[in-house]
């Protein structure tokens, strides 16, 4: 069974020789291919890979820096293996854990095995604390209970990896995307090492982007195929409250009260208009989703197995 190892890299020249050597040692006896995706490196990363890599290695050089998610997607698209493992190129993931992930997958016929970084060798304030906070928020918001969303080291069955639909900066939410696909997931501890060459590409400035992507994932997970359930529900509530307020103001007017300039009048009109707009937005969003599936011949479901029975049982 061919294993595809997808490794996004950017300015990791100092790590390539040691990484390739460790991969060769860890994967000895396992049929595999290495797919390095260079995401706009400005140093000698590509030349270093070409210098030390073997015949089973492929290098995808992107035309510019697209980001880690896009680099992962490019590697997954190019992968030919029945199993696909994601690995960071900074040497903080340990290639020796890959056979252990494969053994864990075989044990329970899992679709995804995610790593949990133990004894993490990163700074607490800028790396560990934001990561723990993000993990907690994502678990609470999505109800996909994976311990370490930030660990790149994950093993997938090919059909799951190729249907994740990665774009933007959604690599942190891969377990959520896999859950939406219907994948069976488990996790296990993996080793983590301190970076010994190169510079980390992560920082505290990612926090707002993570929060924005989290809102997107919550919406897609809950309402991706039925946006009218969100916009329509909120719109109907807004419209009803607006109509009640407008009726109350009209009753006051009929009783001789002055309603010009009253905040309640403006609030009623605002809620009525907002309700109509939200309901209309729900209709449009539903039509867009219908067009999305029909134009690309996509199905809103995934069949995991199709069992054909050899005969028919007589009905009694």
What is the per-residue pLDDT for 123?
Answer: 65
Q: Is it the case that residue 287 has pLDDT exceeding 50?
A: yes
Q: How far apart are CA 228 and CA 282, in angstroms?
A: 4
**3-state SS record for 171-212:** HHHHHHHHHHHCCCEEEEEECECCCCCCCCCCCHHHHHHHHH
From the CB of residue 137, how many other CB atoms can be counted at a distance below 10 Å?
A: 14
**pLDDT category, 315, cuts 50, 70, 90?**
very low
Cβ-Cβ contacts under 8 Å for 62 (sequence gap 6 or more)? 37, 38, 39, 40, 70, 71, 74
Percent of the chain with pLDDT over 70: 87
Token match 């678990």: residue?
A: 139
Q: Which helix (H) or strand (E) holds 153?
A: none
Q: Is it the case that residue 95 has pLDDT exceeding 90?
A: yes
What is the per-residue pLDDT for 243?
Answer: 95
Q: What average pLDDT score do residues 99-127 get? A: 86
Q: pLDDT for 138-153, tens place per residue?
A: 888 888 999 998 899 9
Q: Which helix (H) or strand (E) holds 12?
A: none
Q: What are phi and psi of 114, to 5 degrees?
A: -100, 145
Q: Is it the case that residue 311 has pLDDT exceeding 60?
A: no
Q: pLDDT for 179-234, tens place per residue?
A: 989 999 999 999 988 877 756 655 556 667 777 888 888 888 888 888 899 999 99
More confident residue, 137 or 306: 137
Q: Which of 2-16, 84-98, 120-134 has the lowest mean pLDDT?
A: 120-134
Q: pTM score > 0.85 for this model? A: no
What is the per-residue pLDDT for 135?
Answer: 84
For the chain, strand residue ranges (E) read 3-9, 32-38, 57-61, 83-86, 112-117, 154-157, 185-190
From the CB of residue 38, how many other CB atoms can be counted at a distance below 10 Å?
A: 22
DSSP codes joined into one string, 126-139:
IIIHHHHHHHHHHH
Q: Is it the case that residue 116 has pLDDT exceeding 80?
A: yes
């Amino acid at each position: 069974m061919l294993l595809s190892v997808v490794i996004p890299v950017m300015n990791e020249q100092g790590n390539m020789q040691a990484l390739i050597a460790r991969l060769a040692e860890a994967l000895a006896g396992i049929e595999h291919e290495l797919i390095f995706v260079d995401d706009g490196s400005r140093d000698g990363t590509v030349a270093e890979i070409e210098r030390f890599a073997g015949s089973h290695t492929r290098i995808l050089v992107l035309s510019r820096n697209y980001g880690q998610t896009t680099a992962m997607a490019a590697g997954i698209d190019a992968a030919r293996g029945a199993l696909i493992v994601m690995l960071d190129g900074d040497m903080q993931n340990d290639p020796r854990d890959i056979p252990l992930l494969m053994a864990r997958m075989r044990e329970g016929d899992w679709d995804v095995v995610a790593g949990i970084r133990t004894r993490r060798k990163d700074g607490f304030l800028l790396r560990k604390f934001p990561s723990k906070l993000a993990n907690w928020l994502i678990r609470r918001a999505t109800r996909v209970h994976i311990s370490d969303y930030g660990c790149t080291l994950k093993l997938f069955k090919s059909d799951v990896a190729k249907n994740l639909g990665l774009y933007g900066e959604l690599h942190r939410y891969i377990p959520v995307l896999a859950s939406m696909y219907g994948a069976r997931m488990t996790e296990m501890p993996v080793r983590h090492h301190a970076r010994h060459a190169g510079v980390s590409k992560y920082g505290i400035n990612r926090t707002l982007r993570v929060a924005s992507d989290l809102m997107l994932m919550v919406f897609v997970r809950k309402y991706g195929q039925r946006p009218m359930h969100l916009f329509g529900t909120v719109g109907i509530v807004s419209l009803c409250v607006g109509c009640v307020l407008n009726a109350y103001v009209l009753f006051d007017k009929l009783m001789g009260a002055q309603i010009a300039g009253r905040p309640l009048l403006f609030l009623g009109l605002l809620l009525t208009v907002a309700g109509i707009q939200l309901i209309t937005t729900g209709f449009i969003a539903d039509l867009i989703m219908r067009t999305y599936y029909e134009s690309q011949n996509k199905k809103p479901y995934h069949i995991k197995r199709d069992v054909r029975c050899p005969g028919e049982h007589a009905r009694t």
